[in-house]
Each structure stands twice: as C-alpha cells, then as structure tokens.
Structure 1
Amino acid sequence: MSTVKVIISFSRLRDDDLDTQSQVIISKLTGNVNFPNPIPTLAEITASRNAYVDALIVSKTGGRQETLKKNHARKELEQQLGLLALYIQANCKNDDLIALGSGFEIQKSKAPIGILAKPSNFKVENGPLAASLYASVDKIEGAKSYLFEITKAPVTEDSIWQVESSTAKTFLFEDLVAGTQYAIKVAGVGSNPKKVFSDVLYRFAQ
C-alpha cells in the first residue's frame, strides 16, 4: 500500500488561487471529526488568510511597497498552511479520502508499470566501423534499459545469443565477422521481470 502524501507547498498557486485554497481548507476542517485539534489552529489560519487578503487587495492598486507587504503576508500564510499540511499528513491514517476531506491536495500515486510493450520501429543497419552493426529502437515507456541480443544466422534452438545491456535505445555491435549474417533482437527492461522481444531482424556484417 502506498503512503498518502499531502502536498505541503503552495508556491505553485497564483495569488487569488492561494486565497481560494485557504478558504476551502478552512471550510473543510471546520467541524471535521478526523482533525479535531489542527495545528496551527483554524483561528490562526483564518487570521493569516485575512491579513493576506487585505494585503492582496491593496497591492493591486498600490506600488512596490504594497507588493512587498503582500508577498510577506503570502509567505506567512504559506508557512502556516505548510505546518497544517504536516498535521494532516500525520493524522490522516494513510487514508486518501480522509486526507482529501481536509481540503488539502495529495500527490497522485504512480501507477505500477506492468510488462513493457513490444519494441517498435526496430532497425539494424551497417555501423560506422568495419564489421559492425548498429541497432536502434523507439523509446519504450517505462524502460530503464534495453537488452540487445545477437547471434549468427540461421537461428536454431541451439543458437547462443550474445546479450548486451544499454541504457540508451541504440547499440553498436563491433568486431563481428565480415560477410556473416546475424540475427538481432531487442527488449526493454523494466520493473517487471518478463520481457517482450522485438521481431528478429537479419543483417550481413560488412
């Protein structure tokens, strides 16, 4: 089970949106039985929010000094909300519904990546060096690395595949036997141990 993480930073919000978010949090926490003793208190949050709103209104028609006062009031409100978010984090019982019921937002959990897709646009070309082959494939979503495998043609049950791992989606096979046909395939490597290989491509090394 993943851990519920309450978002404690508000710097991403525009000035008016910070006010709106503050109002939502105050409303949601008023009488909320899951968070009976918020720290800071709702009275303290409300006072910070009111001071911020007053400064925000004045700054819209004022000068540089009024803007600085607004920025200071915003910083104070963000700090108070950050502390409150930590309280919510510690008392939400790792329940996303309880956490969201506070009016705070939570980080989206990353969906687990299953078996990676079959490689697409796999190509094998003659490399820049003598007796070399250059293999490339389109990026595979979720792949941490790639396995490029090569063996001499024809492919049989007794073929021994040379396995090369690469963090890049390309690989250069060097020191091959010129005039020999090779079979090459590729698969993405992710968190799931099962691998789906591309179709086998054949190419003569020159």
Structure 2
Amino acid sequence: MRTNKVISNYDKLTDDELAMLASGVEDALTGNASFPEPNPTLPEFTTAATDYRAKLAVASRKGSALEVSLKNEARKVLLNLLRRLAFYVNEIGQGNAPVLYSSGMRLNSQPREMLVPGVPDGVKLRDGRQSGQIRLDFNPLKEAWEYEYAISSELDENKDPIWGNPLNTTSSRANILAPVTPGVLYRIRVRARNGRGLGDWSEAVTLIAR
C-alpha cells in the first residue's frame, strides 16, 4: 500500500480551483495544533494567496495583457509555496491520513487493487482481405495484459462446440485467423489475462468463412 501523502504539484488546477484550494489551506492551518510551525509561515502563505486572488479577480474581468501576466506570476509564487508547504505537511504527517487531511491539502490517490479482468465485449468477426482468412476485433480492457481466443469449427454429439487450443494476442484489433476453410461456420470466443489470472470467456460469435 502506498504511503499517504499530500500532493505537492498543483500546476494542473485551474485558476479558480487554485484560489479555492489556497483559501481552504489557510482556514485549515489556522490554529491547527498538528502543524504549529508551517513552512512557509502562515502569514507568508496568506499574503501570497491574497495577492493571487486579487490579481485573478482583475485579470478575470477582461484584464489587459499586463494584468494577466501579473496574475500568472502570482500563481507561480503560490504554487511554489504550496510545494514547500506540502513537504512540511508530509514530514509532520508521516502518512497519517486524518492529520494530512486536516491541512486542507489534497491527498494522493491509492492505487486500485488489480482484479481479474472482465469479459471482453464487442467481439466481431468479418472476412479477411483474402479468401481463407477471418478478421477478429473486440473492445480492449484497461486491466488486461493480453488476450486469448479459441476457435471451433465442429460440434460434439451434444451440439456443443469443440474448442481448439487458445491462441494469444496483445491486440484487440485486426487479428487475422488463417487458414480457414471457405464455407465452414467458425465460432470464436475471447478472454482476457492479467497478473491476477484469466477472466471468463466471451459469448461465442460466428462467421461462415469465404
């Protein structure tokens, strides 16, 4: 499990989102016994946040190129202070989520546990470019490392498909199955694999080879 930490890089926040975050951090750190000596100091951070909000308000009202430039510079200053503050918060917080949350800053996201992949859908068969070929396509799964597909051209005495050995592919598109016998009905099914194992087979789809 990844150690809890507050995020230090807020470059991707919009101007308004950054202003809201800064206000929340100011409120959260004021009188917060968990962070008695923030670095930067709370007055230093508040001054930068107030300056940024003021310049953002001016620039948002169809500000001139100069006013927008001043806002951008104030944004850089505030982002730099947030980086310094995040380092301090993480040093004090030592991975304690409630303490870290109390800073008003955002925590990093924990990686999701890997699960067995789901069932591929959108499985489609079509004629290949040449006679004796079938093209296989299906929708990719984000959690899949690779896929297996199995082919059947015969039924047993119970009318169930007789599946051949699975074949591997890392692509969900333009898989060419060859050679196939023209005029024969083929059934194909697909399943996905990742580090946790194999998922379930898809429903079989059919095509008469040409």
TM-score (norm 1): 0.79
Letter in 1 for 2:67: E
Contact 1:151 1:161 in 2 (8 A): no
- Give the aligned length: 206
Aligned residue runs from structure 1 range 177-188, under 5 A: 177-178=181-182, 180-188=184-192
Letter in 2 for 1:79: N
Shift of 1:115: 2.6
Give the equivalent residue in structure 2 for 1:171.
Answer: 175
SS at match of 1:91: helix
How much is the aligned-residue C-alpha RMSD, in angstroms?
A: 3.0
Give the equivalent residue in structure 1 for 2:209.
Answer: 205
SS at match of 1:43: helix
Structure 1 unmatched ranges of 5 or more: none
In 2: Cα distance, 1:126 partner to 1:195 partner: 27
SS at match of 2:120: coil
**% identical aligned pairs:** 24
Give the equivalent residue in structure 2 for 1:36.
Answer: 36
Measured at CA, do residues 41 and 130 of structure 1 come closer, stay the same or move farther in structure 2, by a change above 3 Å?
A: same
Contact 1:6 1:85 in 2 (8 A): yes
In 2: Cα distance, 1:179 partner to 1:56 partner: 70
SS at match of 1:153: coil
Structure 2 unmatched ranges of 5 or more: none
In 2: Cα distance, 1:159 partner to 1:80 partner: 63
SS at match of 1:44: helix
Shift of 1:80: 0.7
In 1: Cα distance, 2:17 partner to 2:114 partner: 34
TM-score (norm 2): 0.78
Aligned residue runs from structure 1 range 1-206, under 5 A: 1-57=1-57, 59=59, 60=61, 63-154=64-155, 160-178=164-182, 180-206=184-210
